[in-house]
Structure 1
């Protein structure tokens, strides 16, 4: 008879998430997760086939906290989409190293598929269909993931912005000037502003 399992998928995912939060995506490995659980690497293979399966468990565990319920129907469709986008952003902001994995496993994550289904319901109610609906959904997914990576996984403490603002104004006048302005734009304003531009564009 097979040996009884002593760890649940949630326990495995929580351990992997702890490694991601502490060491980043580069630090995620079967060995690191096994160490987090206090077991041998070989023992971990009793529960998951490989790192790919472990990653999917982490994505499901992290995104399981996203509220995928439909926003109030009396709100305009743009506001309903914004609510859904913020739910995803707020959840993943707590675990930014998971963000790249959501793209890798987007076709297999039930949690992401449920969120996408709710987004599609709002878009459909607003008259989106066919190719226009495809473009809208993919644009929204790309935006929330891109914004999270820019905010959390870019150069630490604005080092990248500082470096660009110091570029030669003769060679990169607009990049340098824009970087100086960027210092005054906080993440919330950047996310809201970009989302507003995107939603207006989708409505054209």
Structure 2
């Protein structure tokens, strides 16, 4: 008779997330998670089939922190979309190494589906429908995910930006000037500014 299960999906996901936060996505393996849980690798296979199942559990855990309830109905459509974008940004941004997993597993994640449903309801109410609504949703997802990656992998105040300021101005006049200006733009201003430009483009 098989031993009864003693670990919940959230416990498994928490252990896998701890590995990712500490060692990066490349460090995620059945063995590493088993060690995090203090059990044998074979013992972990009693709970999940493979690494892909662990990934799905991690994505669901991270996205379960996203508040998917409709924002204040008295707010403007832009304010509600901004609130939804901020919620997703903050939840996933707390674990930036998980970003690639959210892209890979987004179609199976209830968290993403519920977030998307709320966003679509706001867009529909604002008169954004059909193809424009498809592009708007994918554009918002792409923007939030991309913003998180840029904030953590290529920050404006990082060495990459400094290196650009030292390029030959005669050959890269716009790049060097923009890089110098970028040092005065923090991640919050960058996120809000980019989101505002995206929403302006909807022309509602």
Alignment TM class, shorter chain as reference = over 0.9
| 2:43 counterpart SS class | helix
Aligned residue for 1:174, secondary structure, equals: helix
Match for residue 38 of structure 2?
38
Which segment is superposed worse, 85-94 or 155-164? 155-164
Provide the residue aligned with 1:158 in structure 2: 158
1:110 maps to what in 2?
110
Mark the CA change 1:119 to 1:155 in structure 2 (over 3 Å): closer, same or farther: closer
Matched residue count = 204
- Which moved further from structure 2: 164-173 or 18-27? 164-173
Shift of 1:157: 6.1
Name the CA shift for 1:119/1:46 in 2 (closer, same or farther; >3 Å).
Answer: same
- C-alpha deviation, 1:165, in angstroms: 1.5
* CA shift digits 1:22-44 (9 cap, x unpaired): 11112212111111111122221
Q: How does 1:11-30 map to 2 (within 5 A)?
A: 11-30=11-30
Contact 2:157/2:183 (<8 A) preserved: no
Q: Secondary structure at the match of 1:144?
A: helix
Moved over 6 A (4+): none
Deviation by residue 1:49-90 (Cα, 9 ceiling, x = unmatched)? 111110010000011011000011111101100000001111
Q: What TM-score, normalized by structure 1, do the two folds share?
A: 0.95
Determine whether 1:54 maps to 2:54: yes
Which residue in 2 is equivalent to 1:202? Answer: 202
Q: Deviations over 1:134-178 (max 9, x none)?
A: 000000000000000000123696011111221222222211211
Asked if the contact 2:156–2:183 (Cα under 8 Å) also holds between the matched residues in 1, the reply is no
Change (3 A) 1:156 1:127: closer
Match of 1:126 in 2: 126
Alignment of 1:53-72 (within 5 A): 53-72=53-72
Structure 2 distance, partners of 1:190, 1:68, is 24
State the partner residue of 1:172: 172
Mark the runs of 5 or more structure 2 residues left unpaired by the alignment: none
Give, in whole Å, the separation in 2 of the partners of 1:165 and 1:31: 44
Could you tell me how far apart the structure 2 residues matched to 1:78 and 1:158 are?
A: 31
Separation of aligned partners in 2, 1:201 and 1:59: 30
| Rounded Cα–Cα distance in structure 1 between residues aligned with 2:125 and 2:156 | 41
Where 1:26 maps in the other structure, the secondary structure is helix
